[in-house]
A = this chain, B = another copy of it.
Amino acid sequence: MKKLINTIESFVDEACEGLALAHSDLVQFHREPRYLARATAPKGRKVGLVSGGGSGHEPLHGGFVGSGMLDAACPGEVFTSPVPDQMEAAGRAVSNGGGVLFIVKNYTGDVMNFDLAAELLRADGIDVRTVLVADDVAVQNSTWTAGRRGVGNTVFVEKLAGAVAERGASADEVERVAKKTSEAGRSMGMALTSCTVPAKGSPTFELGELEIEIGVGIHGEPGRERTALVSADEIVDRLARPVMEDLGLKRGDQVIVMTNGMGSTPLIELYVAHRHVAQLLSGSGVTIVRSLVGNYITSLDMDGCSLTVLRADDELLGLWDAPVHTPALRWGA
């Protein structure tokens, strides 16, 4: 296992320290229980947005803490749900009377632990809402989920709910936008290679020299099929068509698109993939109004890509364009 790592035990804490050192104007690291929160609390009464999940998906979630997006993120160990203490402490820290929204990717451990934290906070009179992200069209149920896995659309939910929360919207309104976004996005990913979890030290799964996995999960969970290595365009076809179909995209729809790297994919290759994503959507009469190409939700050192498409009406597009200032996403600020 070749990694930039000191010890397996200190890996996540040290990464959090590095993030907070690089962006001390934006993010503070709280060690015990572990969470990342804004360095400067937002002014006024505001719904507090908290997300979290296993580490290894950076910049998700810690890289999205900052104005216009999350108030706090709870990093678990690598590919392991954070414990309820973390979300409870983070929820308490960001609660200032406006309520708290938990943004939860649909994995059994995450769902259960966020639920427990929500109960603890509610017992103290804090209004906690939860939005579930379950956008991966590859499989109906998976290794660690009942129902669809939550993947790339999490980035969109965090951005759009974050934007409306930053404007001082009520908990009802922030919850509505988060759920609307969650329902409007679909994703699918693929792997050219496995990833290696440090604590295990060997690849999570095996792929042959010229074999790829279509529909892989962000922890290396099995996808739809293993197939021979094909061209970038053909790979994109196999991701985009199920996504577009599941979303029921029609001519004239407008979408925000993310062509995402799994962690070890060079940007030059992501641009090659994005080219065909754009061709396919345009060819179907769909208008791409905004694009992200890069590493936004990753799987450690997995090589591969995923596609997320969000049907964006004018409300969602307006929220997308609202200012954001986080380590990994920034504009208008």
A305: which B residues are within 8 A, CB to CB? 4
A18: which B residues are within 8 A, CB to CB? 270-275, 278, 293
> B5 and A272: CB pair below 8 A?
yes
* A236-290 interface (Cβ within 8 A of B): 259, 263-275, 278, 288
> A264 and B264: CB pair below 8 A?
yes
Residue A182, interface by CB 8 Å: no
Residue A88, interface by CB 8 Å: no
A269: which B residues are within 8 A, CB to CB? 3-5, 15
Residue A100, interface by CB 8 Å: no
Stretch from A45-53, A158-166, A225-233, A308-316 that touches the partner:
A225-233
> A268 and B300: CB pair below 8 A?
yes
Interface size (A, Cβ < 8 Å)?
64
In the assembled complex, the Cα of A11 lies from the Cα of B271 at a distance in Å of 10
> A21 and B274: CB pair below 8 A?
yes
The oligomer's copy count stands at 2
In the assembled complex, the Cα of A245 lies from the Cα of B55 at a distance in Å of 35
> B3 and A274: CB pair below 8 A?
no
The distance from the CB of A62 to the nearest CB of chain B, in whole angstroms, is: 9
A12: which B residues are within 8 A, CB to CB? 268
> A303 and B272: CB pair below 8 A?
no
The distance from the CB of A232 to the nearest CB of chain B, in whole angstroms, is: 4
In the assembled complex, the Cα of A300 lies from the Cα of B293 at a distance in Å of 16
A131: which B residues are within 8 A, CB to CB? none
- Say whether, besides A22-B291, A259-B22, A333-B331, A232 and B272 are in contact (CB < 8 Å): no
The distance from the CB of A74 to the nearest CB of chain B, in whole angstroms, is: 15
Residue A112, interface by CB 8 Å: no
In the assembled complex, the Cα of A298 lies from the Cα of B268 at a distance in Å of 10
> B301 and A301: CB pair below 8 A?
no
Closest to A325 in B: B331
Name 12 A/B residue pairs within 8 A (Cβ), A-sorted: A2-B212, A4-B235, A4-B270, A16-B271, A18-B270, A18-B273, A21-B274, A22-B274, A56-B266, A263-B264, A266-B298, A293-B327
